[in-house]
C-alpha cells in the first residue's frame, strides 16, 4: 500500500533554526508554512534580488504523492506569465530538497484583508475581476487551478491581485494520477459541488469559475459560502444546499453584484459562467454601472433546487440556516403533515416569506445579519401565530433546528421544547411530529454536553418510533444508532451494545440506503467491545472500514476507523501495521480537508504516538510541532484537540532529555484538559504523570511526588475498567515505579528533592 514512496527515516522540517543558507539563496525569514511546504523570504545571491522561496517539507511525511504535487505546482505556475499571477523564476533541487523561487509580493492575502469584515463592493469586484483574468490565462494554456480561495490570492502594495499556490493544478487535456475518482481535493468552503463529491472527471473550467464566485462571496460577506462544525459538514452543504443570500449577510451589497456572485455559485455547472473571462466581463459591467447579464434566481427555483437535492432532509425537518430561503417555496409539499395541511402550509409560507424578506439597508441605517432575521422570526412567531398552534410549532421547529445547526444551543433548546409541547398537546405524545422533535432535542443536548438529557430524549423518540406504525423504518434505525453513539461517548459502553447491534440489524434489512448509518454503528460497537476487552471489536471495525471504503461519502468515517485500528495494533505491539493504518488515515484527511487543517493536525499527532512506540522520538517531536503550528491558526488555544498534541510534544521532549522545554508545554496541556474534562479526569492525571517525569528529570522531586500521588488512584481505576489494556498497564507500572523511587529520594534527602 505504501511501497517505495515511503521514506525510510524522518528528518526535521526545514526551519530557520537550523538553516540560513540554501544553495544560491540566503534565507531572511519565514513567510508562510503549510502541511506540504514552507515559504521563505530570501535573497538570491547570484542576482542579488529578493524572492519568495518555497521548499517541500522533507522527511517521512513527504510522500511521493506530495513530492509530485509540489512538482506540479512549480511547473504549472512556471508555464504562466500574467500580471496577476505570481511569476516563478527557478525550479530545482538542492541536497535532495525540492524548491522553486518566485516573485516576492509585499502585501497581504485576501483572507487577511477580510478578517475584520467584508471589503467594499467595488474593491471586491475589482480584485476578483483581476483574478478571473489570471485564471482565464491559465485555462487558455490548459491548466486548472482547483484550489482558489482567499488565502491563495495576494494583494500587493499597489492594490493589485496576484494568484499563487497552484499545488492542486491539473492539465485539462490529461488525467492525473493525483486525482482519482472519489478523492476530494481542494478547500471545502470554496470548492464546486463536483469537487466536493469527488467526481474529479467532472471538474473543468467552470469548477474554477465556481471558486471565483466563492472568493467573491467571501469578500463581500466576510465568510465562505458554506460553513459548518467540520469539513465533512461543509462538503455536504456544498453538494446539497444553496448559499445564504449575500444581502442577508451584508445588506450593503448591490443587487447586481449579488446576482453575479450567485450565478458563479450555481450548483449546475451548465448555468454558471462558462468561462472565467465571462465572469470578469460581467464584473466589468458592474464596475462601469452597466446592466449585468446575469439574472437573479427566483425564490421558487431556489426552493425547488433544495427540495430536489434533500428529500430526506426536507421530510425529517433537520433544517439548517440555508433551508430558510428554501422553506417558503417547498413547505406545502414537504414540511407540513398535519390535518388541515393546505391552510396551515399557506400560513407558514406567508409568515416565513414576510420574515425572510431582505430588509432595505437604506432604512434605519443598520446592517441586518442572518441572526437578526432569526431573532426577529423568533420574537414574532409566538405573538402572531398563537391562534394557529400547529403552524407555530412548525415555525418553532424550523427555527430551533436552524439555531442548532449554527451551534447556538441556548437559543435552539427552548424553541424545540415549545414545539414539542404543542405537538404532544395537539397531536398526542406518540405522534410522529412529536417523536421527530424529541430526536432533534436528543441530538442537540448530546452535542451541548448534556449526555443524560440527550439520551432521555433519544430514548423517548426511539420508543415513539417503535409504537407508531406510520414511522418510516429508517427513523428507528437512526435513533438506535444515535443512542449507541451517545452511550459510547458517555463511557457507558456495555449499555451501548444493544442499541448498536439492533441498529446494525435493522440497517441490514433496509439495504444499501442505510449503509452509512450501519457503518457508523459498527464503529461504535467496535469501540464499546474494545473497552470491554472483547476480541470481536476487530471484526466489527473491519466491517465498518470495508463499508466506508465503498461509500462515496464514507471517507471521513474511514479515516477515523483506521485511526482506531492503529490503536489496536499498538496494543498488540504491531507498530508496523499501526504505522500503515495511521498513514492511510492521515492521507485520507489530507485529501478530504487539505494539508493545512485541524483534522490533519490531529492525524499527525496520532501518527506521532506510533513513532513514540517505535522509539523514534525525533520523528514524534517533528510531527507534534508541525501539528501544533497548524492548530495555532486553526483552533481556539484551549480546544481539547490541542492538549493531545501538546501531550505528545511534551513526552517526546522528555524522552529526548529536554525536560525544561517539556514542562511549560505539559502544564498548558494539563490546563486545557482540566477545562475540557474536569480536574479529576484520567486524561488530566495522565498528562500530570508525564509532567512529573519532566520535574523528576529537573530534580524537583517533591513537586513531582505531589502530582504522582494524586494521579495514581485515577490511573489504577482506569486500568481496572479495562484490564487487558497493555499500554495503560505498562504506563501505570512505570508511574508506580517512578513514584516509589521519588518517595525514597524525598525521604532520604528532602532538601535535595525540592532544589
pLDDT at 499 over 70: yes
Q: Between 628 and 381, where is the model more confident?
A: 628
**255-264 helix and 121-140 helix, angle to the nearest 10 degrees:** 30
As a whole number, the mean pLDDT across the chain is 78
pLDDT greater than 90 at residue 269:
no
Task: Please give the pLDDT value at position 324.
Answer: 43
Query: Is pLDDT above 70 for 344?
Result: no
- Specify the DSSP element, H or E, that contains 371: helix 370-384
277/306: higher pLDDT: 277
Q: What is the pLDDT of residues 646-700, one digit of tens each?
A: 999 999 999 999 999 999 999 999 998 888 778 888 888 889 999 999 999 999 9
Over residues 192-241, the pLDDT tens digits come to 888 877 776 778 889 899 999 999 999 999 888 987 666 767 777 888 77
Q: How does pLDDT run across 38-70, given as a tens digit for each residue?
A: 888 899 998 999 998 888 765 334 566 667 767
Mean pLDDT for the stretch of residues 423-428: 90
Over the stretch 7-40, which tens digit does the pLDDT of each residue have?
333 333 444 444 578 889 998 888 876 656 788 8
**In degrees, to the nearest 5, what angle opens at C-alpha 508 toward C-alphas 506 and 514?**
85
* 563 and 555 Cβ atoms separated by less than 8 Å: no
Q: 193 CB contacts (<8 Å, ≥6 apart)?
A: 210, 238, 239, 267
DSSP 360: P
Give the per-residue pLDDT at 360: 40
Q: Give the span between the Cα atoms of 633 and 655, in whole angstroms.
A: 27
Amino acid 63: pLDDT: 60
Checking if the pLDDT of 560 tops 50, the result is yes
Q: What is the pLDDT of residue 330?
A: 33
- What is the mean pLDDT of the segment spanning 165-169? 62
Choice between 736 and 283, residue whose per-residue pLDDT is larger? 283
Domains and CATH numbers, the chain: 3-102 (3.30.200.20), 107-297 (1.10.510.10)
Q: Residue 307: is its pLDDT beyond 80? A: no
Which residues have C-beta within 8 Å of that of residue 631, sequence separation ≥ 6?
598, 601, 639, 641, 642, 645
According to the model, what pLDDT value does residue 35 have? Answer: 55
What b/e sequence results for 344-356 when a residue is b if at least 16 CB atoms lie within 10 Å of its CB, and e otherwise? bbebbbebbeebb
Amino acid at each position: 500500500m505504501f511501497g517505495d514512496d515511503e521514506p525510510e527515516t524522518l528528518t526535521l522540517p526545514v526551519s530557520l533554526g537550523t538553516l540560513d543558507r540554501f544553495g544560491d539563496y540566503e534565507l531572511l525569514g519565514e513567510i508562510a508554512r503549510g502541511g506540504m511546504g514552507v515559504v521563505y523570504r530570501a535573497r538570491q545571491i547570484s542576482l542579488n534580488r529578493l524572492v519568495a522561496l518555497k521548499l517541500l517539507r522533507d522527511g517521512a511525511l513527504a510522500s511521493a504523492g506530495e513530492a509530485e504535487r509540489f512538482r506540479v505546482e512549480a511547473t504549472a505556475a512556471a508555464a504562466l506569465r500574467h500580471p496577476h499571477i505570481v511569476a516563478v523564476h527557478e525550479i530545482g533541487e538542492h541536497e535532495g530538497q525540492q524548491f522553486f523561487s518566485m516573485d516576492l509580493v509585499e502585501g497581504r492575502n485576501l483572507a487577511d484583508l477580510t478578517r475584520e469584515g467584508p471589503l467594499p463592493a467595488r474593491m471586491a469586484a475589482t480584485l476578483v475581476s483581476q483574478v478571473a483574468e489570471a485564471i482565464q490565462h491559465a485555462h487558455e494554456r490548459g491548466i486548472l487551478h482547483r484550489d482558489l480561495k482567499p488565502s491563495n490570492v495576494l494583494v500587493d502594495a499597489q492594490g493589485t491581485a496576484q494568484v499563487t499556490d497552484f499545488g492542486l493544478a491539473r492539465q485539462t487535456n490529461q488525467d492525473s494520477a493525483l486525482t482519482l475518482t472519489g478523492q476530494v481535493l481542494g478547500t471545502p468552503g470554496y470548492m464546486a459541488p463536483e469537487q466536493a463529491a469527488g467526481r474529479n472527471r467532472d471538474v473543468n473550467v467552470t469548477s474554477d469559475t465556481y471558486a471565483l464566485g466563492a472568493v467573491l462571496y467571501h469578500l463581500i460577506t466576510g465568510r465562505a459560502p458554506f460553513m459548518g462544525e467540520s469539513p465533512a459538514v461543509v462538503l455536504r452543504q456544498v453538494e446539497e444546499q444553496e448559499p445564504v443570500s449575500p444581502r442577508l449577510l451584508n445588506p450593503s451589497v448591490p443587487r447586481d453584484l449579488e446576482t453575479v456572485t450567485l450565478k458563479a455559485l450555481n450548483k449546475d455547472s451548465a448555468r454558471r459562467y462558462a468561462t472565467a473571462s465571462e465572469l470578469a466581463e460581467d464584473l466589468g459591467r458592474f464596475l462601469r454601472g452597466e446592466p449585468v447579464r446575469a439574472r437573479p434566481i427566483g425564490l421558487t427555483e431556489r426552493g425547488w433546487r433544495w427540495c430536489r437535492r434533500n428529500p430526506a432532509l426536507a421530510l425529517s425537518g433537520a433544517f439548517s440556516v440555508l433551508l430558510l430561503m428554501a422553506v417558503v417555496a417547498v413547505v406545502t409539499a414537504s414540511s407540513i403533515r398535519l390535518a388541515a395541511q393546505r391552510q396551515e402550509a399557506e400560513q407558514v409560507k406567508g409568515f416565513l416569506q414576510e420574515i425572510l424578506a431582505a430588509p432595505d439597508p437604506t432604512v434605519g441605517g443598520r446592517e441586518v445579519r442572518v441572526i437578526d432575521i432569526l431573532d426577529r422570526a423568533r420574537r414574532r412567531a409566538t405573538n402572531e401565530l398563537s391562534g394557529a398552534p400547529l403552524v407555530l410549532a412548525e415555525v418553532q421547529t424550523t427555527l430551533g433546528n436552524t439555531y442548532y445547526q449554527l451551534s447556538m444551543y441556548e437559543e435552539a433548546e427552548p424553541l424545540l421544547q415549545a414545539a414539542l409541547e404543542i405537538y404532544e398537546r395537539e397531536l398526542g405524545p406518540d405522534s410522529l411530529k412529536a417523536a421527530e422533535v424529541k430526536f432533534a432535542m436528543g441530538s442537540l443536548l448530546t452535542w451541548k454536553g448534556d449526555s443524560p438529557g440527550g439520551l432521555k430524549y433519544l430514548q423517548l423518540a426511539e420508543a415513539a418510533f417503535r409504537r407508531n406504525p406510520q414511522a418510516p423504518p429508517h427513523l428507528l434505525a437512526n435513533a438506535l444508532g444515535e443512542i449507541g453513539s451517545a452511550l459510547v461517548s458517555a463511557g457507558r459502553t456495555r449499555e451501548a451494545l444493544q442499541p448498536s447491534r439492533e441498529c446494525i440489524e435493522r440497517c441490514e434489512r433496509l439495504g444499501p440506503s442505510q449503509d452509512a448509518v450501519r457503518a457508523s454503528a459498527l464503529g461504535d460497537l467496535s469501540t464499546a467491545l474494545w473497552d470491554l476487552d472483547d476480541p470481536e471489536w476487530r471484526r466489527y471495525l473491519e466491517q465498518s472500514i470495508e463499508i466506508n471504503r465503498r461509500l462515496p461519502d464514507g471517507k471521513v468515517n474511514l479515516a477515523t476507523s483506521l485511526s482506531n485500528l492503529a490503536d489496536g495494533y499498538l496494543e498488540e505491539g504491531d507498530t508496523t501495521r499501526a504505522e500503515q493504518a495511521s498513514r492511510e488515515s492521515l492521507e485520507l484527511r489530507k485529501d478530504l480537508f487539505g494539508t493545512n487543517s485541524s483534522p490533519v493536525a490531529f492525524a499527525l499527532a496520532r501518527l506521532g504516538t506510533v513513532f513514540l512506540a517505535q522509539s523514534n522520538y525525533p520523528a514524534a517531536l517533528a510531527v507534534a510541532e508541525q501539528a501544533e503550528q497548524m492548530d495555532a491558526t486553526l483552533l481556539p488555544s484551549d480546544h481539547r484537540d490541542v492538549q493531545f498534541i501538546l501531550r505528545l510534544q511534551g513526552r517526546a521532549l522528555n524522552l529526548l532529555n529536554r525536560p525544561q522545554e517539556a514542562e511549560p508545554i505539559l502544564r498548558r496541556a494539563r490546563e486545557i484538559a482540566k477545562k475540557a474534562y474536569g480536574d479529576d479526569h484520567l486524561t488530566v492525571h495522565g498528562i500530570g504523570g508525564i509532567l512529573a517525569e519532566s520535574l523528576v528529570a529537573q530534580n524537583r522531586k517533591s513537586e513531582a511526588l505531589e502530582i504522582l500521588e494524586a494521579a495514581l488512584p485515577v490511573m489504577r481505576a482506569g486500568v481496572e475498567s479495562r484490564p487487558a489494556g497493555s499500554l495503560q498497564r505498562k504506563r501505570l507500572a512505570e508511574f508506580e515505579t517512578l513514584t516509589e523511587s521519588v518517595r525514597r529520594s524525598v525521604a532520604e534527602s528532602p532538601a535535595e528533592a525540592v532544589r
